[in-house]
Amino acid sequence: MTSTSSGTDDVHGGAGEPPGGLAEALVEALALDAETEEFAQQIADQVASFLLALRAIAKEADGGRAISLLLLEISQVLLAGARLGAQQDFTPHSRYQPDVGPEPDLDELRMRLALMLDNIDTYSFVFDPYVPEVVESQLSDDLAAIATDLDTGLRHFRDGNVGEALWWWQFSYVSSWGNLAGAALNALLSVVAHDRLDVDVDLDADQVAAADALLTDRP
The per-residue pLDDT for 63 is 81
- Tens of pLDDT, residues 201-212: 455 666 666 666
Can you list the residues of the chain whose pLDDT is less than 70?
Answer: 1-32, 94-96, 197-219
Smallest CA-to-CA distance from 203 within 114, 118, 112, 113 is with: 118
Say whether 128 sits in a helix, a strand or coil: strand
- Tens of pLDDT, residues 86-111: 998 888 776 667 777 777 789 999 99
CA distance 100 to 170: 18
Kindly list the distances between the CA atom of residue 1 and the CA atoms of 155, 173, 204, in Å, as whole numbers in the listed order: 17, 11, 29
